[in-house]
Amino acid sequence: MSSHYIETLPYERDSAALVRRLHGLAGFVFLDSGLGEDSNARFDILSALPVASVPDTQDCYAKVQDLLTQFAPDTPLPAQIAQLPFVGGAIGYLGYDNCARVGIYTWAIVVDHAQKCTTLFVLAANTNQRLQQIQQCLAGELTPLPPFSLDTSFESNFTRAQYEQAFSRIQDYIHAGDCYQVNLAQRFQTSFSGSPLTAYLALRESIHCPFAGFMSTPHTAVLSFSPERFLQIRGGNVLTQPIKGTRPRAQDPDQDQALAQALVNSPKDRAENLMIVDLLRNDLGTLCATGSVKVDRLFELHSFTNVHHLISSISARLEAPNTALDLLKNCFPGGSITGAPKKRAMEIIAELEPDSREVYCGSLFYVGFDGNADSNIMIRTLHCVRNTISCWGGGGIVADSDCAQEYQECFDKINNIINRL
């Protein structure tokens, strides 16, 4: 059997040129750290040409686990590959409404923004065939991408009055004791022409998010500018970092600082965040070692291009024989975008939101042959299906929420994206 192939490529801070060279390969995926500007983001991962795929299946977790076992390398990985965050394995997305698209990838380019190095590896199976296709793309000329344009402005699937009615209904459920928090989202939609990749590369020049990514098929594309990590698993150590609590950014520095401070000091936002922390502690506790679930940081302020957020960090130890996919299935979808308790909140969402969430609030993720994994929650995400493009914005509603503020928060979260297209 041929050996694994490793090559060090020239490092570039911006992986856009690599994206443009490789995007024509079937099954292209790009997990994007947003230029490595956030302390939580260090690596860009690019791959294509999956050896197997799992499209739109109800039981994708078991099927992906079977494929990981089937295609796992049967020779040891050299240290230069083994120390990478992704060593080959599954990359794909899980949609909120059970849609999924996952591939098994046996090569990748990993860009390490901390060490300023770029590594190409190809695992032993089919090394020569894969390598020839990859190197041809890397050596090719950069050609212009097709343009992208919206046909009309985005329109919400809620009128203001309809949103107010849904908000009032959630308040009734909360006061009746049905739930404590419900995430209510608006979908914004229009038609477009041109290349979704052109739109993604243009947006990422000014929107730097630590858990961004791009995936496409001939008729669909996912463009995610997510600031939120869902689950990371490294050697059995688990980390989740829910976002709950938002304020818009302001151009005036003093006003911007005042908005950030108001968020940090807000009892409502801190209580809302704590509800989700408790929910995630329970989700992790069912598959992680007893006593290992710990809240490491609460209510940390993180400032992104268009909003300030409160982010908490929870760690745990995954207990054997549970796998990363077991944990992903057990915790999905993330509590920060459903509410508490999760099951009842999801029932209320299904009742009150007029359309399917599709990929929104799902997860873009990888699970490696080594059992390590990382994933986002697909907020700030555009979904292209043929010539229709959708984007969602939502917020957690609790007993003391203000309807006008919650309605505006939907726009604060996505204006930075849809106004730049």
Catalytic center residues: 228, 244
Are the C-beta atoms of residues 398 and 271 closer than 8 Å to each other?
yes
Are the C-beta atoms of residues 100 and 214 closer than 8 Å to each other?
no
Alpha helices in 2-159 (DSSP H): 16-22, 60-71, 79-82, 127-139
Task: Tell me the pairing of strands 381-385 and 155-156.
Answer: unpaired
Report the candidate in 282, 265, 268 with the shortest Cα–Cα distance to residue 335: 282
CA-to-CA separations, 263 to 138, 241, 272, 295, in angstroms, rounded? 46, 17, 12, 20
Q: Where are the beta strands (DSSP E) in 80-151?
A: 89-94, 100-105, 107-112, 117-122, 148-150
Are the C-beta atoms of residues 274 and 396 closer than 8 Å to each other?
no
Alpha helices in 156-266 (DSSP H): 160-175, 196-204, 253-264
How far apart (Å, rounded) are the C-alpha atoms in residues 24 and 201? 15
The β-bridge partners of 316 are: 238
CA end-to-end distance (rounded Å), the chain = 48
Helix axes 342-352, 160-175, angle to 10 degrees: 150
Q: Is the dihedral of CA 171, 173, 175, 179 positive or negative?
A: negative
